[in-house]
Amino acid sequence: MDKERAQAFMKKAVGDVGTAMSAVLVMVGDRAGLFAAMAGAGPLTAEALAERVGMHPRYVQEWLSTMTCGGYVVHDEQADAFTLPDEHALYLADPSAETYLGGLFSGVPSLARAAPDLADDFRQGKGIPFAAFGDALPVAFEQMNRAVYEKRLVSTWLPELPGIAERLAAGGRALDIGCGTGIVPITLARAFGAAHVEGLDVDARSIELARANAREAGVADRVVLRVAGAGDITASPGYDLITTFDVVHDLPDPLGALQAIRGALDPQGTYLMVEPRVDDRLAANVGNPFARMLYAISCMHCVPQSLSQGGEGLGACWGPARARRLAEQAGFSRFDALPIRSPALAFYAVRP
Ligand SMILES: C[S@@+](CC[C@H](N)C(=O)[O-])C[C@H]1O[C@@H](n2cnc3c(N)ncnc32)[C@H](O)[C@@H]1O
């Protein structure tokens, strides 16, 4: 027994509990507007911050102490004042910023909701349907992704697919599978007034929210949003663009879905598959904070919800080699990993 190693591990484990508990309080600080109130404000005492946000000073003081120990805010002991560095505010203060990480934290309670029964599920190999994670989960996914999809999809990502924007502008067809609350199809419909845009998702609550989002965006009459499984695609006339964002690994039958996508694409069309940016090999993922987070999300949510649909539970942490193999098995003739810079997302252009 290496005593030093044991001690170091004990501290790490206790630190991990602190991280898990603090994650809930990051979400609270986000919802309460505490990060937003601190952004760009310079050093603030707990009382001054409490006054700014109209909250009880004891709560704010304790929250600030937690955030200080977690390295989120910086405490000046002499002035007893707290600062949110600009470099941290970048990720915490503004939900409309593409760097915003608040959505990740807001997903924690929905995912943890399954935890009490998870050990039993492990034993029995039982799945958990998407809807069982509660109404807040689709909203959390939207908070995670909305800003980046709205800012990047049309301006940065589509130009990597030669000819596709032109085809959509000329009245082409686009379909987003597993569209969640509809941000991808709505963004496409706003950008391409003549295009026929559809979104589908197996989760009825997500589609309800997607329809509300489409009404709010003023495109409800131009986007067809329906509750359907990934295999339920009309093959004719062919689509110019089919997309899946963070979906393939959740599907009960990824190969069957890719075969259906191939069959539904126009011969000149493109399938854009977006999946987590991780390596195929666990050993290569160790030490990558994105992978650590994703394996946990995958174990709590992606695998059980795929199993609940009778699926294989592919899991969120699969990489480009397996994605390429799957596309080849589905009969696609071209698979290109796109050179789009993103810390979290990998982009694959797949053609019939
Ligand atoms: C991680 S969420 C991603 C949502 C959205 N694409 C986004 O990027 O924000 C995965 C989505 O896949 C959907 N999904 C899971 N199984 C599906 C299936 N068999 N057919 C269609 N959608 C499915 C879920 O309901 C969920 O909305």
**Do 140 and 239 reside in the same domain of the chain?**
yes
**Do 85 and 183 reside in the same domain of the chain?**
no
**Do 239 and 281 reside in the same domain of the chain?**
yes
| Contact indicator for 213, 176 with CB cutoff of 8 Å | no
Residue 279 lies in a domain: yes
Pick the residue whose CA is nearest to atom 8 on ligand 1: 245
**Do 327 and 210 reside in the same domain of the chain?**
yes
Assess whether the C-beta atom of 187 lies below 6 angstroms from ligand 1: no
**For residues 93-121, average pLDDT:** 93
Pick the residue whose CA is nearest to atom 25 on ligand 1: 203
Closest CA to 345 of 301, 296, 303, 290: 290
The domain boundary, picked from 94, 126, 142, lies at: 94
Q: What kind and span of H or E run contains 235?
A: none
pLDDT tens digit sequence for 138-175: 999 999 999 999 999 999 999 999 999 999 999 999 99
**Do 86 and 118 reside in the same domain of the chain?**
no
Assess whether the C-beta atom of 251 lies below 6 angstroms from ligand 1: yes
Compute the distance from residue 198 Cα to the ligand 1 centre, in Å. Answer: 14
**Do 120 and 47 reside in the same domain of the chain?**
no
Query: What range does the domain containing 21 cover?
Result: 3-94
Closest CA to 242 of 194, 200, 284, 211: 200
**Do 313 and 185 reside in the same domain of the chain?**
yes
For residues 89 and 97, give the distance between their C-alpha atoms in angstroms, rounded to a whole number: 11
**Do 33 and 134 reside in the same domain of the chain?**
no
Assess whether the C-beta atom of 245 lies below 6 angstroms from ligand 1: yes
Assess whether the C-beta atom of 206 lies below 6 angstroms from ligand 1: yes
Whole-Å CA distances, 219 to 105, 156, 204, 230? 30, 22, 20, 23
Which pLDDT score, from 0 to 100, does residue 136 have?
94
Compute the distance from residue 111 Cα to the ligand 1 centre, in Å. Answer: 15
Which residue type sits at 251?
L
**For residues 72-76, average pLDDT:** 98
**Tally of domains in the chain:** 2
The domain boundary, picked from 94, 125, 149, lies at: 94
**For residues 308-326, average pLDDT:** 96
The domain boundary, picked from 31, 64, 94, lies at: 94
Compute the distance from residue 190 Cα to the ligand 1 centre, in Å. Answer: 21
**What is the average pLDDT value for the chain, to the nearest integer?**
96
pLDDT tens digit sequence for 170-206: 999 999 999 999 999 999 999 999 999 999 999 999 9
* For residue 235, pLDDT beyond 80: no
* For residue 113, pLDDT beyond 90: no
Compute the distance from residue 128 Cα to the ligand 1 centre, in Å. Answer: 14
| CATH number for 17 | 1.10.10.10
Residue 311's pLDDT band (cuts 50, 70, 90): very high
For residues 116 and 217, give the distance between their C-alpha atoms in angstroms, rounded to a whole number: 39
**For residues 303-320, average pLDDT:** 95
Residue among 135, 188, 250, 294 to mutate when testing ligand 1 (max atoms within 8 A of CB)? 250
For residues 42 and 36, give the distance between their C-alpha atoms in angstroms, rounded to a whole number: 12
Assess whether the C-beta atom of 332 lies below 6 angstroms from ligand 1: no
**Do 121 and 239 reside in the same domain of the chain?**
yes
* For residue 117, pLDDT beyond 90: no
Compute the distance from residue 68 Cα to the ligand 1 centre, in Å. Answer: 36
For residues 172 and 192, give the distance between their C-alpha atoms in angstroms, rounded to a whole number: 9
* For residue 239, pLDDT beyond 90: yes
Assess whether the C-beta atom of 153 lies below 6 angstroms from ligand 1: no
Which pLDDT score, from 0 to 100, does residue 114 have?
85
Percent of the chain whose pLDDT exceeds 70: 100
Residue 81's pLDDT band (cuts 50, 70, 90): very high
Assess whether the C-beta atom of 276 lies below 6 angstroms from ligand 1: no
